[in-house]
Amino acid sequence: MSLTHTLGFPRIGARRELKFALERYWRGESDAAELRAVGRSLRRTHWQAQREAGLDLVAVGDFAWYDQVLQTLDWLGGLPTRFADAGADADPFVRLFACARGNAAQPAMELTKWFDTNYHYLVPELSAELRFDGEAVELLDWVCEAQALGLHAKPVLIGPLTLLRLAKVRGDSGALAQPLDWLPRLLPAYRRVLRALGELGVDWVQLDEPALALDLDADWLAAYREAYAALAGHGPRLLLASYFGGIGEHAALLRELPIDGVHLDLVRAPGQLDGFLADWPQPRVLSAGIIDGRNIWRADLETLLAHLSPLHAALGERLWLAPSCSLLHVPVDLAHENTLPAALQGALAFAVQKLGELTTLARGLRDGREAVSAALLEASAGRAALAGLPNRRHPLVEQRLAELDADAGERALPFAERAQRQQAVLGLPLLPTTTIGSFPQTAALRAARRDYREQRIGHLEYLERMRAEIREVITRQEALGLDVLVHGEPERNDMVEYFGELLGGVATSANGWVQSYGSRCVKPPLIYGDVYRREAMTVGWSRYAQSLSERPVKGMLTGPVTLWKWSFCRDDRDSATVMTQLALALREEVAELEAAGIRIVQIDEPAFREGLPLRAAARADWLAAAVLAFRIAAAGAGPATQIHTHMCYSEFNEILPAIAALDADVITIETARSDMELLEAFHDFHYPNAIGPGVYDIHSPRVPGSAAMLRLLRRAVELIPAERLWVNPDCGLKTRDWPEVDAALAQMVEAARTLRTELASVAA
């Protein structure tokens, strides 16, 4: 019988219980005991879901108060030493949340994207004082909780090499110069935890090593040998879990490691199986990740069963069945959806449904196809109904794509000439000041949206409420003296979901929440059909905002790459086609904004870097398609209309050629936290167009002074000619409060003015 398990389950709760409990605790409205009780109840609910679905093992340790990397560090005694004093004798939450969110003395740990997902983890900080002396007491408690419920607990930990691969060395740490140098210090902590788990009767531990699916140098591969040799034989059996890509080229290495099983992502990389099957040593387990943990479509159970049967015949009990990766990246339960078209609802599987798919397959392998034929038929019928939806394929959309000219992505003139025409229209000062788009999303705004959605207020009242907000933010920006204004995005629940609600071929769920970081969640739209623009999406709001001011107000769109990347996407069309369809829809919007008198249009692409394939070999093709999609959208504008783009999450040094190829007139980027480091790369690359390096870190509630911003700006003018520099925050301001925002923007405008005066006096 094939054993079934999941690498992890969403922790936020079907009704976002963890989010609300965390935020209550942070606001001081509840105590640690209450937060712990919510956590305990969620773990139990999630284990019950696994048991009820019929899984053989339950995942323990996939729960985390804020983030799984932070959690693993805590258990191993690897929290950054700069937080050693934070709440030393108080509740352990004080230190944990200080690491995650910062405190009066220390800024938070760095937050960055988990591989190619929209989930963010906290970056481990390696410093000379770090001891890794943890005993994972909390994890052991959770294992006992599960065992007390009569469950077969399989603890899950991030593996040592992935942990180091994601880490950054901080400060001068002497001989420990590279993350790998910490391995000898780290391994005893893992051994201690494994031994303690073994004493609790744990028989299997899953060590997550998604880093194996990246391009790895020989020293990292050698470190896998060293690490796993040191970990084997200290208690439980080890399942090394890879995901997000294939590790076929390392099959020989894995065969040599003294592990007891390996998990493969057979959704992303089905072809890797052969390399393992040939002579996978007895009695090792092969966990087949066959249910997509990154997408929400129902699995083709009939086909999967057919593929699994010979595998099962070959491996017998050594074949385990699992989702491709943790289910963290999909919403919890389809049972909470009630607004989706029936044909779509019937084609979906969220986390709970995916567990059911696994046990159906396991029963099919054990008892034969007939025993599960009803479930197989239901799955096929659900998938067929989706395939038959009228929106699925649109001859008109296909025709528009087919008829795209070779120069569809070309602006009419090169940058230098466009810049002149734009300046003639805009008349901006040197170092123009602007913001990234959103202003604080207050409780009152969210309440207005909810009341409208639930029909407690009518359309006119809603319109008035949003217009009042737009008037308010325009007035504030004029008073602050900003040069290029925004309407503030009050009408948007989210920069992606908003467009998902309006575009044809895209649906949005009612409760399909996925954790993004900490307590913050998103509801990724579902791109299920050919995409088209039904009607103007932003023109009314932008036109209204522009009518209130003489200064230019930027139109604000989310770009094709980001809309694709932050949605769940159909799997029967390639990403290039979907991005191009989105681009055509946005291109129409750009043209209509221009016709409505909007002189600057920003097309946000914060997910551009994240869309990049994990393996270098796959990058060029993807980049070409992504760049073209952006350019097709932007080319909806004439040369006198200025196109801005915005990217945060700044690790794009290696894709600068692609960023330049976007040919946006202005790009705003996140640079405040890294002290303009990224701008050096733009300088070295001779980036040709205008840049707005963020001078204000919007992730922190601290209001930076104008002196700090002036220092960053002075650094910026050393790197980029002032004529091509803009002044702006790092990102949108939707998560901040008005008092901070008002204060910070006033300081920012002051810094820009000071530098303008300085530069003018130098020139004179």
- Which positions touch ligand MET (CB under 6 A)? 436-438, 495, 556, 604, 606, 646, 648, 731-732, 734
Using alpha carbons only, what angle is made at residue 744 by residues 738 and 745, rounded to the nearest 5 degrees? 90
Helices (H), 200-288: 218-231, 251-256, 273-277
Stretch that binds ligand 39S, among 69-77, 391-399, 520-528, 618-626 (CB under 6 A): 520-528
Nearer to Zn ion, 268 or 736 (CB): 736
For residue 602, how far is the Cα from the chain centroid?
A: 21
Q: Is 719 exposed, middle or buried (0-12, 13-18, 19+ CB in 10 A)?
A: middle
- 207 sits near Zn ion (criterion: CB under 5 A): no
Identify the residue among 166, 731, 744, 749 touching Zn ion (CB under 5 A). 731
# residues near ligand 39S by CB under 6 A: 18
Q: Is 604 annotated as a binding residue?
A: yes
**Residues 571, 323, 10, 736: is their CA dihedral positive or negative?**
negative
Amino acid at 679: L
Q: Which does 446 bind (CB under 5 to 8 A by kind): ligand MET, ligand 39S, Zn ion, none?
A: ligand 39S
In angstroms, what is the minimal distance from the CB of 480 to Zn ion?
20
- Asked if omega into 80 is within 30° of 0 (cis), the reply is no
Q: How far apart are CA 663 and CA 85, in angstroms?
A: 48
What single-letter DSSP state applies at residue 339? Answer: S
Residues of this chain, 579-638, that bind Zn ion according to CB under 5 A: 606
What is the number of the residue whose Cβ is closest to ligand MET? 732
In angstroms, what is the minimal distance from the CB of 321 to ligand MET?
37
Of the candidates 61, 64, 63, 66, the residue with the CA atom closest to the CA atom of residue 26: 66
- 384 sits near ligand 39S (criterion: CB under 6 A): no
Nearer to ligand 39S, 414 or 701 (CB): 701
The two structure tokens encoding residue 602: 């920003």
- 15 sits near ligand 39S (criterion: CB under 6 A): no
In angstroms, what is the minimal distance from the CB of 566 to ligand MET?
9
- 648 sits near Zn ion (criterion: CB under 5 A): yes
Q: Which does 438 bind (CB under 5 to 8 A by kind): ligand 39S, ligand MET, Zn ion, none?
A: ligand MET
Q: Which does 447 bind (CB under 5 to 8 A by kind): Zn ion, ligand MET, ligand 39S, none?
A: ligand 39S
Q: Is 325 annotated as a binding residue?
A: no
- Three-state helix/strand/coil letters over 7-67: CCCCCCCCCCHHHHHHHHHHCCCCCHHHHHHHHHHHHHHHHHHHHHHCCCCEEECCCCCCC
- 602 sits near ligand 39S (criterion: CB under 6 A): no
Write down the residue that tokens 């801005």 correspond to. 644
Identify the residue among 735, 737, 739, 757 touching ligand 39S (CB under 6 A). 735
Q: Is 459 annotated as a binding residue?
A: no
Three-state DSSP class for residue 428:
coil
The backbone region for 368, taken as left when phi is positive above 0, alpha when psi lies in -120 to 50, beta otherwise, is left
Q: Is 14 exposed, middle or buried (0-12, 13-18, 19+ CB in 10 A)?
A: buried
Which residue numbers are catalytic? 699
Q: Is 2 annotated as a binding residue?
A: no
Write down the residue that tokens 């009695």 correspond to. 283
Q: Is 673 annotated as a binding residue?
A: no
In angstroms, what is the minimal distance from the CB of 698 to Zn ion?
8
Stretch that binds Zn ion, among 48-56, 154-162, 628-636, 646-654 (CB under 5 A): 646-654
- 446 sits near ligand 39S (criterion: CB under 6 A): yes
Kindly calculate the radius of gyration of the chain based on its CA atoms and give it in whole angstroms.
26
Binding-site annotation: residue ranges: 16-19, 113, 118, 436-438, 489, 520-521, 566, 604, 610, 646, 648, 670, 731
Binding-site annotation: residue ranges for L-homocysteine: 436-438, 489, 604
Interface positions with ligand 39S (CB under 6 A): 118, 441, 443, 446-447, 449-450, 493-497, 516, 520-522, 566, 735
